[in-house]
Copies of this chain bind each other. A is one copy, B any other.
């Protein structure tokens, strides 16, 4: 599915969720959802806020936080807790569930899917008589390429 089509589908899902819950369809919510689906990935709330401001949209930080909560609730956005920094978000519609590998040298975030992970998680949860709802696997790693093009960027996730 093309990016605009996914965005449209996301908007439709949001609308359905809002009317079902008796909540309101506001410009702000549409704008935020669009930015997330067409322009950003692995962003934090403040980056999203600045992005919207630069586009000339006057949306407050509070609304950004509120709307992110809403979008996570209705499943259109996923929330991640990597090391120290702020909470990061990602669009989730039309994307396979995946995990993350963080480069300790440049802060780059790589995504991967490993089909072996699901059974492991199920097995562990069963051992404790628990029903798993979600998981986060984060691998922290260094680049082995001698001339990694990212080496120049500022490292993140470095110490904590």
Residue positions of A touching B, CB distance < 8 A:
79, 81-84, 87, 101, 103-104, 110, 112, 114, 116-117, 120-121, 123-125, 127-145, 160
Contact B138 A125 (CB under 8 A): no
- A32 to chain B minimum Cβ distance, whole angstroms, is 18
Find out whether the CB atom of B144 lies under 8 angstroms from the CB atom of A87: no
Question: Shortest CB–CB separation between residue A125 and chain B, in angstroms?
Answer: 5
- Stoichiometry, as copies per complex, reads 2
22 contacts between A and B (CB under 8 A): A79-B160, A81-B81, A81-B160, A87-B160, A101-B130, A103-B130, A104-B133, A114-B123, A114-B124, A121-B139, A125-B141, A128-B141, A129-B143, A129-B144, A130-B142, A130-B143, A130-B144, A131-B143, A132-B140, A133-B141, A133-B142, A135-B139
Known: A135-B137, A140-B134. Contact between A116 and B116, CB under 8 A? yes
**Alpha-carbon distance between A137 and B137 when the two chains are bound, in angstroms:** 4
List B contacts of A120 (CB < 8 A). 114, 116-117, 120
- Contact partner, A101, options B110, B112, B128, B145, Cβ 8 Å: B128
Roughly how many angstroms separate A129 CA and B129 CA in the complex, as a whole number? 37
Name the one of B123, B134, B137, B144 contacting A136, with C-beta atoms under 8 angstroms. B137
Q: For residue A93, give the distance in angstroms from its CB to the closest CB of chain B.
A: 20
* Alpha-carbon distance A124/B116, docked complex (angstroms): 11
CA–CA, A104 and B130, complex, Å = 10
Distance (Å) between the CB of A96 and the closest chain B CB?
15
